[in-house]
Chains A and B, each alone.
Chain A
């Protein structure tokens, strides 16, 4: 048995918290996806990355 009565307000707050959590999770997925796409396309490679180091 619950010690505390659940108010309708709690349900609404839960909905709001869930919404924020899902939004943050989606943001993480987007950042990760963008990173994967940009790295695999070679956007961040320095211009002479393929040439060997010179002393």
Chain B
């Protein structure tokens, strides 16, 4: 490169004081969401009754995580306009001016193709195809279509976040059965109360962005009722899973404690009105949201524990 062209490019870049570093591109992949994808996919892979070579298992989880990250980048590309408005998202790389929307699109498409192809090569074509479907569901069905049109956005969109354990299972077995769909249902039913609690205390965010969250379209009272109803259904599902092939005594003990606490939290949210919540700055809703993170982590942790104990004759119901 000549000095002249070097100086020109430096001068041009200096006009963008926030030119992206590597970490900004990594942030496009939503690393925190990715950690949930990695963990639930890992549980799906290890709970499957087929042994997987450790290196192939590692690659499968890595490519599922990259696929999840790619859909996060595509979500940020499409949602750049509303991310700019919401307090929770305005520091993301595109609204912060560090990465251009077109770059996020390129990163998202490139990594989508790479992750699907590599997962198919490392494990089986069915797993790769299912990862492709998951990316399509999250980006097209949820982000582009449902998110801005229906208050049930979170309910249906939650499916996208619930697919990773199914992909992990398929990567191990090359086949489908009921157990991964129980793990899917657990995340699917957990997502609405988790996000609606967030919507209750991040109150102006979704209003400002014009996203039809349940809090905006049906009111905050209806949201509290919905949280309670979904939590009751979730508790029934979570306890029922204890008696399936992926459950066992460890899982049952964990599920009993967590679902009792979660139901109690949902009941408290249901009994409160806006004045109560304003008075303590949504303390109950915030605690419920924090508990929801622990809830999912420990349920999947218990499924993993059952799977790891099984070779020693301890996991499951014997």
Contact = CB atoms under 8 A, between A and B. Distances in A.
Q: Which of B14, B22, B53 has the most chain A CB within a 10 Å cutoff? A: B22
Tier of interface size on chain B: 10 to 19
Contacts of A15: 21-23
Contacts of B55: 33-34, 37
Interface in B48-98: 53, 55-56, 59, 62
B13 interface: yes
Contacts of B118: 30
A19 B22 contact: yes
A41 B10 CA distance: 51
Contacts of B256: none
B22 A30 contact: no
Interface string B102-122: 000000000000000010011
Contacts of B122: 34
A9 to B, nearest CB: 6
A38 to B, nearest CB: 8
B53 A41 contact: yes
B195 to A, nearest CB: 32
Contact of A12 (B19, B59, B121): B19
Interface string A26-53: 0000100110010001000000000000
B20 interface: yes
Contact of A9 (B19, B53, B56): B19
A45 B266 CA distance: 57
Interface of B: 10, 13-14, 19-23, 25-26, 53, 55-56, 59, 62, 118, 121-122
Interface of A: 7, 9, 12-13, 15-16, 18-20, 30, 33-34, 37, 41
24 contacts: A7-B14, A9-B14, A12-B19, A12-B21, A13-B19, A15-B21, A16-B20, A16-B25, A18-B22, A19-B21, A19-B25, A30-B59, A30-B62, A30-B118, A33-B55, A33-B59, A34-B55, A34-B56, A34-B59, A34-B122, A37-B53, A37-B55, A37-B56, A41-B53
